Amino acid sequence: MKKVLSGIQPSGKLTLGNYIGAMKNFVKLQNDYACNFMVVDLHAITVPQEPAALREQSEAVAALFIAAGIDPDKANVYMQSHVPPHAELGWILTTLTSMGELERMTQFKDKAAGKDSVGAGLFVYPSLMAADILVYNADLVPVGEDQKQHLELTRDLAGRFNHRFGEYFTIPEPYIPEVGARIMSLDDASKKMSKSNPNPGSYIALLDTPDEIRKKISRATTDSGREVRFDPAEKPEISNLMSIYAECSGMSIAEIQNKYEGQMYGGFKKDLAEAVVSVIEPLQKRYYEIRESGELHDILQRGAEKATETASRTLSDVKERMGFLLPKK
């Protein structure tokens, strides 16, 4: 089976955008690929984190993975920091990465903009992300637009290592799902729905109550005019809401457009809110069951043990090829 690697940072509340754009695809992938899905806590600390919040969010993200339908008997679910080869290979790959490559990363430029001081971890973390992928010799990596540049660096580093030390790393390919909307912010459809947005009204968190979801959708920005029509160029706000509706209801965009032909936004928004609630309520029920049962830590331990077995072999092979003196087994 081809290998898949992906992860989500525990640096805020997971949103409906995370669910539709990533987690729904994780659930599909686990049936056809050997999957590793991790909570990337080492990436989260590239910016300051409150310890108690980091601990809680790490558990929450892992539990939401399972609640969304990831089966720990089919896919490894674990904390990045529980698999030490990630960090060690990250350092090794940092030594193969040039300053120029890291300086060109647009995500670093965006996050560093306007700040007097920026941590070195934020600068070098693309090398750690490359290690996350290469430590399993992953074939496919689900990536959004904001991560494509990092995957290109990963491919370059794999090729560079292979050229210097002999063919070893698989050159990973991006996994782009055939269908699936890119979910944008509720207050500005030109920006991706993000858990890091300071305005909580801009996103639907997966643990928002039904009433909070209804309120946020009722206040979501709409375009001028009253027509429920899918036209991302002319009507980006309503088109974004229609995409959310389609993902949560199973209806096509054309079916939604026909259903609300000649109607105004009010009824559409009410029905949209109920479609979202119908998806999130059962997910939340499973989430709270997992948290209360205490099974999460056993799941994470099993996932980390399996992942470490593969990652340790890769790290040992890499060090041997580079000339490290390896300890006796």
Tokens 């429920």, residue?
A: 228
Instruction: Please identify which of the residues 3, 195, 216, 235 carries the catalytic annotation.
Output: 195
Provide the pLDDT for residue 119: 86
pTM of the shown model: 0.91
- Which token pair is 38? 């991790």
Q: Which amino acid is at 206?
A: L
225 pLDDT above the threshold of 90: no
Query: Which run of H or of E encompasses 291?
Result: helix 265-293
Q: Which of 24, 74, 111, 259 is catalytic?
A: 111
If one counts every other C-beta atom within 10 angstroms of the C-beta of residue 13, the result is: 19
pLDDT at 181: 59
pLDDT in tens, 182-222: 789 999 998 888 877 888 899 999 999 999 999 999 999 99
Spatial distance between the Cα atoms of 137 and 173, rounded to a whole number of angstroms: 11
Instruction: Report d(CA 65, CA 69) in Å as an integer.
Output: 7
Residue 178 has pLDDT above 70, yes or no: no
User: CA distances (Å), 193 to each of 203, 302, 328, in order?
Assistant: 6, 32, 50
d(CA 37, CA 321): 28
111 belongs to the catalytic site: yes
Q: Which helix (H) or strand (E) holds 89?
A: helix 85-94
What whole-number distance in Å separates Cα of residue 328 and Cα of residue 129? 29
Task: Inform me whether the pLDDT recorded for 148 exceeds 70.
Answer: yes
**Residue 146's pLDDT is what?**
67
| Residue of 3, 13, 192, 269 with catalytic role | 192
Q: Which residue has the higher pLDDT, 265 or 114?
A: 265
Q: How far apart are CA 95 and CA 183, in angstroms?
A: 36
What confidence category does residue 145 fall into, taking pLDDT thresholds of 50, 70 and 90? low
pLDDT of residue 118: 83
* pLDDT over threshold 90, residue 116: no
pLDDT at 171: 96
Residue 180 pLDDT grade (very low, low, confident, very high; cuts 50, 70, 90): low
- Establish whether 192 is a catalytic residue: yes
How many residues does this entry show for the chain? 329
* Joined tokens for residue 59: 């558990």
DSSP 104-170: T-HHHHHHHTT-S---HHHHHHHHHHHHHHHTTT-SEEE--GGGHHHHHHHHHHHHHHHHHH-S-S-
Per-residue model confidence as pLDDT tens digits over 29-43: 999 999 999 999 999
Asked if residue 179 has pLDDT above 60, the reply is no
- Find where tokens 């990536």 sit: 143
Q: Is residue 191 annotated as part of the catalytic site, yes or no?
A: no
Residues 6+ apart with CB under 8 A from 65: 8, 23, 26, 37, 39, 77
